[in-house]
Structure 1
Amino acid sequence: MGSDEDAVLAGPFWYGRWDETAREHHGGHARQLNRAARAAHYAEGAFDPDATRAAIAGLEIPVLILVGELDFSPSPVLATQLGELFAPGWVRLVVQPGAGHHPWLDDAARFGDVVTRWLAGS
């Protein structure tokens, strides 16, 4: 993980556009950080690729993977590969055009439409 300064400098790369909304969101990011959740996320043993792949492959529930076209974590290519780990027929992958890591900020209407349609089963 990089420093706090690195996070500030990388800010524009997390968004589809670096406008006032994105700058405000990024500026408040430090206040939104849940340090306990972050520690658990990166805890020793948290990443077991074989166990994770097996668990995902066994899921038979609807899954929506919505990724921004401009996101690099995960990129659309990696999001596609993630979708392929699930049982066939259970995943809907949507790449939101022009969006970065925070697609609800880049185009809230499109994001809301995708999520609403998925929740409604269509």
Structure 2
Amino acid sequence: MTGTSVNMIGNKSMGIDLVADVIIQEMKKSTSCEIISDIRRESNGFKVYLLAFEKYYLRIGGMVSLITMLTEDESSQSADIIGTGGGSGLLNISYGANEDFAGKAVNILKECGFFFEE
């Protein structure tokens, strides 16, 4: 199976609740994907949101999954994005489908004030 993973840091310009809602709305609008899971947990001021999406890519004839974990406490925000699946054939070639899917989430997060850790 093929996959890609990206880590980002938020500037807290937008609360994680709104960030999760924007990701869901924009992913559905821009990729016609299906949201598989929207899990939101909070304890003692620490929030963890887990979003899972799935999309069929015609060019590979298979499904690609996107997992996004958002975390926030009083001083920091982070996002972990994993695009996986989509490999086809004997060599399990994805033709970049998982990177494309993850890239959509990265672009949405950038618009929400997230950036790559240096």
TM-score (norm 2): 0.25
Higher helix share: 1
- Whose radius of gyration is greater, 1 or 2? 1
Higher strand share: 2
Higher relative contact order (CA 8 A, sep 6+): 2
